[in-house]
Structure 1
């Protein structure tokens, strides 16, 4: 056994010190090398980052915009999933949740009346209790709602939803025949009418009652037999929510609402809105940049999805305040914005054009509006709007009632409805298909598959039907529901929703709306169904055939109505009688502004009316050899369309 002496230990320490000194020397050399190389490394990395930035700016200038928007969507999705785990699942759940969270926050401001979130929640409970006890309305019933913009539209809607009813929003512009069709198609057994609209039921009230439809009026009393008043019964109704089922069960894919949309069939179609679709609409205003501190001005009709689900729903999701208007007034708009401290407003393209055509007022530049969110804004109006009314961020969007596909233009680019880059397609997939310019049907290859449109080429917007993009179809119309679906598009078994809209994706991935195919056109912010207008005009005794279509008019968004007509033998055009017929049977936005009298209508070999050539020729007297007439609303008749009159319309001296 060897014994370690002090001398051995001393030698070991010296060896250790020598090794340590060598290691320190080595690290000093490495450090010196690193310090020497540091500027080179920094310069190389900076140059690489700069080159990458230049490349991104040149070829992907909106990369960060797309990424930030995508991350915002992902964040909202996580919040929604978290809420659902806590039992806040439906659109109504979100409202009740917000009412508990911010009970004293003003929710609806209407003509000086202020209703907090708690007030609307409590009043909707009363509505639910009245319909449950007096009306005997139960879960699963369909209730039609015919009301103008007012707070009780929302209270009645939410109250019926608390009973588990499916509410059907009716356009208050529709007339007798269309109204009966709407109620019948959605299967409503109860109709709730605003007090100001009760007279519009005069022609159909008896028919509705004979059909077993329960009629209610939102008033203190009723002058009509068989029409039950609502407001007087709210005074004694309980403020407690109606009894809930145990355990509460809601299928997120089941139907929540019916919203009527014009289609190619003529009469309105009842689009089913799922709970999922309604919940997805909640995030619209947030994605446009709105916050809880905003006052949102809504003058669009609540029977539209844009006002109800996107507008009211957007306020609920944010906890913001809605400034609700009964009807849009261009002359009052900026005064309202200043009076109510409006910071966000919803629009359709025509609304902004009306504002531009108004005389200048001081309020139009002294307001605090920072965001305008909507759809249908023409590029020239867009430019003039931002130039005239201050630094307002325009958030042009596109969406559909029937499906969840949509776009928001979150950039400063004027004109597009949104973007179609990589991140956008990850959120909600979509494609643009090549189509036949005559039939407007998607072009298919020899194998039966559709072909994607190239960038810079107009195509039909389609979106795959999926759990996140369901299509529940139209109530009572299986044929039209099936027509909206494309099958075996890219592979066997796949199903896509056909929007019927023509879009263009440019080489920078911006998406532009080009046109709406089918038998509808858009005018004054509304979809006009040509078949419906043709049927109404066809009932006039001196008309034999009618073909309705839309024509472009310089300075106007959408297309104005025009009708090619054939008079019955030995009959002449009675302009005053035709005008009276229109007033009685059609909303003003559906009236044909121009008439073209023909001896016979052009039809295809399958006897379908041809519209393409008529649309192309328009209403120019030099291009059209037939007699042309113009609707003179001041004289309440149709007058001959002369070249002088045509020029006045084109240059804007005569407004439509």
Structure 2
């Protein structure tokens, strides 16, 4: 996000917000009370909030998908039947259940059922295959797995290397399972058919789930290569759903949230669904985002609220203007990554009043949200946080002569650190060593502890901040975090590649960073078949991780400690005028090979001729 002087929040801007602040105070107080579960033996979490919403709005729509519309009572009873069946099969508190289903009601009902028995849903990324999927499953040692019919092929490919009993390997038909179920493939059990005659009342186990119990494992591509499993506890579900659903969005049973974001990520699962449950509101989902169908769906479901990431908004802006762009009921939206260039245009074109931009990390302990509806900001946080000076080459926070870190001034960017305390505990990862790596000690005084987010923010006044960029070896593209180490490891498996360095580069008028890799051929440039190389990359990694640009280097420069000089590679990006003798190649949208970038191709990319 680029800084402009008018993004700074002034006294006069705050005074203009005073009436809306006064109006919001009662719900903020109520939301804080709801979010701040303190008693370790107080029932709380996903199942608890869903059961409360069911009491409040039993006949209101809870889940909407295609032609399916299910009420809160129907979803709750369906989840209860699955929960009773899981309990009968020996799945109990603390057990891990892998959930591998695309965006559809069956995914959310399964996750709700798992929460009701006190077990933990491992939210497997549905675009993963092969080694990445195998790693993600085995990392959390599931007692059971539920696989959607649409993903059986991907799971079958790794099944022999996974230690899950066949009696607990369940299948969910790729159809409306609330009405019927099909024939399970060999070696898989039909979950919906097995639980059809189970009891439909709330299981007592849902009252035995407390703030410190894990609810989900949400995978994050850390800087160390393969995904890490972030722990998302029920106490955090309470904080998240109340903060966004009540305090930020003021959701009610009259609202419907439309979400096309993948539900294995926290923005879709915890922010969007959590907000809907908090308000006993409807939650409308789509299997995959479609720019051309987006507003038709919004009208069909009479959605008042949409979930977004920045790229999604840009795709909607890129659609040809229509006379009925403003003819829909959306008044508020929640998500992250919206750029200033798109912000005002989106608000104006689609008549959206409130953009609740947020900042949160599924593996962190802090959340910001734009409650006061200023433009171009992630808003403020009720947690304690600071922005500090950092080393530009390593991204590490700097300490002064006294051994403490140094805060940056207003208007300047710094590394975001979030204080770890009772109000903001750090759930961390399943691997305690990985958790310890992101914790900083003795930051401003002896004994204090802070979570290092690895993100750069800018302080724009009155506790508000802007997101600037990510540090470290991940970059964000198409709403997904891409691990450069993982991309490098896959490229290095190719027989004609000796060295590979992956990094993110900016393309004009796109959000996030596109993937680029510098590669050194094992023999010579002539041995590289670029059509075959692209085919290999697309087969081995998710679509969003495939490098869009390649730089072929005879020899890779390294530092004295043999680290690749990524900063320089990022700066030179894919401009042949800056890369000397190294040829640069691009995978242009719609093609099936990499082509060499000429000055004309570069001008076409920058001019927006290609749609990324």
Give the alignment's TM-score, normalised by structure 1.
0.86
* Cα offsets for 1:169-205 (capped at 9, x unmatched): 0110112111111112122121211111111123212
What do the CA deviations read for 1:135-173 (whole angstroms, capped 9, x no partner)? 432222111101111111111111112222111101101
Structure 1: stretches of 5+ with no match in the other structure = 1-54
Is this contact kept in 2: 1:96–1:121, CA < 8 A? yes
Q: What corresponds to 2:547 in structure 1?
A: 592
Residue 93 of structure 1 pairs with residue 52 of structure 2: no
Residue of 234, 258, 272 corresponding to 2:217:
258
Give yes or no for contact 1:461–1:502 (8 Å, CA) kept in 2. Answer: yes
- Among 94, 107, 117, the alignment partner of 1:153 is 107
C-alpha contact (below 8 Å) 1:188/1:213 kept by paired residues: no
Following superposition, the deviation at residue 447 of structure 1 comes to 2.0
Check conservation: 2:256, 2:304, Cα contact below 8 A.
yes
Check the 8 A contact 1:168/1:186 in 2, yes or no: yes
> How far 1:491 moved relative to its partner?
1.1
Q: Distance in 2 between matches of 1:551 and 1:473?
A: 29
Aligned CA distance change for structure 1 residues 214 and 538 (closer, same or farther; 3 Å): farther
Give me the whole-angstrom Cα distance separating, in 1, the residues matched to 2:184 and 2:109. Answer: 23
Higher relative contact order (CA 8 A, sep 6+): 2
How far the C-alpha of 1:632 sits from its partner, in A, is 3.5
Q: Does 1:647 align with 2:603?
A: yes
Does 2:228 align with 1:274?
A: no
Q: How does 1:250-329 map to 2 (within 5 A)?
A: 250-283=209-242, 284-292=244-252, 293-329=254-290
The question of whether the paired residues in 1 share the 8 Å contact of 2:144 and 2:165 is answered with no
Aligned to 1:632: 588
Name which of structure 1's ranges 520-529 and 404-413 shifts more when overlaid on structure 2: 404-413
**1:574 partnered with 2:561:** no
Secondary structure (helix, strand or coil) at the match of 2:411 reads coil
Please give the alpha-carbon distance, in whole angstroms, between the structure 2 residues aligned to 1:227 and 1:59: 59
Alpha-carbon distance between aligned partners in 2 of 1:211 and 1:604, rounded to the nearest angstrom: 48
Count of aligned residue pairs for this structure pair = 592
* 1:408 matches 2:336: no
Q: 1:224 & 1:79 partners in 2: Cα distance?
A: 44
Q: Tell me the CA shift for residue 431 of structure 1.
A: 0.7
Determine if contact 1:222/1:228 at 8 Å carries over to the other structure: no
1:203 aligns with: 157
State the distance in 2 between where 1:168 and 1:103 align.
Answer: 28
- The yes-or-no answer on 1:473 pairing with 2:428 is yes
Q: Flag the 1:61–1:641 CA change in 2: closer, same or farther, 3 A.
A: same
- Provide the TM-score with structure 2 as the length reference: 0.92
Residue number in structure 2 paired with 1:143: 97
In the TM superposition, what whole-angstrom CA distance separates every residue of 1:310-348 from its partner, at most 9, and x where no partner exists? 111111111111112111111011111222211111110
Are the structure 2 counterparts of residues 508 and 87 from structure 1 closer, same or farther at C-alpha, using a change threshold of 3 Å? Answer: closer
TM-aligned CA deviation for residue 67 of structure 1: 7.0
Instruction: Specify the SS of the correspondent of 1:410.
Output: coil
Distance 2:94 2:486 in 1: 30
Q: Which residue of 1 aligns with 2:66?
A: 111
Aligned residue for 1:558?
A: 512
Listed as ranges, the gaps of 5+ residues in structure 2 are 1-9, 174-180
Are the aligned partners of 2:34 and 2:238 in contact in 1 as well (CA < 8 Å)?
no
Provide the C-alpha distance between the structure 2 equivalents of 1:623 and 1:213, rounded to a whole number of angstroms.
59
Question: How far is 1:508 from its partner?
Answer: 5.7
Cα deviation for residue 580 of structure 1 reads 1.7
After TM superposition, the structure 1 stretch with the greater mean CA deviation from structure 2, 259-268 or 95-104, is: 95-104
Tell me, yes or no, if the aligned pair for 2:43 and 2:210 is still in contact at 8 Å.
no
Alignment of 1:105-504 (within 5 A): 105-133=60-88, 135-208=89-162, 214-219=168-173, 220-221=181-182, 224-244=185-205, 249-283=208-242, 284-292=244-252, 293-419=254-380, 424=381, 427-475=382-430, 477-504=431-458
Q: Secondary structure at the match of 2:591?
A: coil
Q: Distance in 1 between matches of 2:427 and 2:530?
A: 43
Q: Which has the higher helix share?
A: 1
Q: For residues 159 and 98 of structure 2, what CA distance do their matches in structure 1 show? A: 14
Q: Deviations over 1:22-69 (max 9, x none)?
A: xxxxxxxxxxxxxxxxxxxxxxxxxxxxxxxxx953897666766766
Report deviation, 1:213.
9.3
Q: Offset of 1:100 from its aligned partner?
A: 2.1
Superposed CA deviations along residues 368-415 of structure 1, whole A, max 9, x for unmatched, are: 111121110000111211222224321111111122311112344321
Larger Rg: 1
TM-aligned CA distance change 1:80 to 1:223, over 3 Å: closer
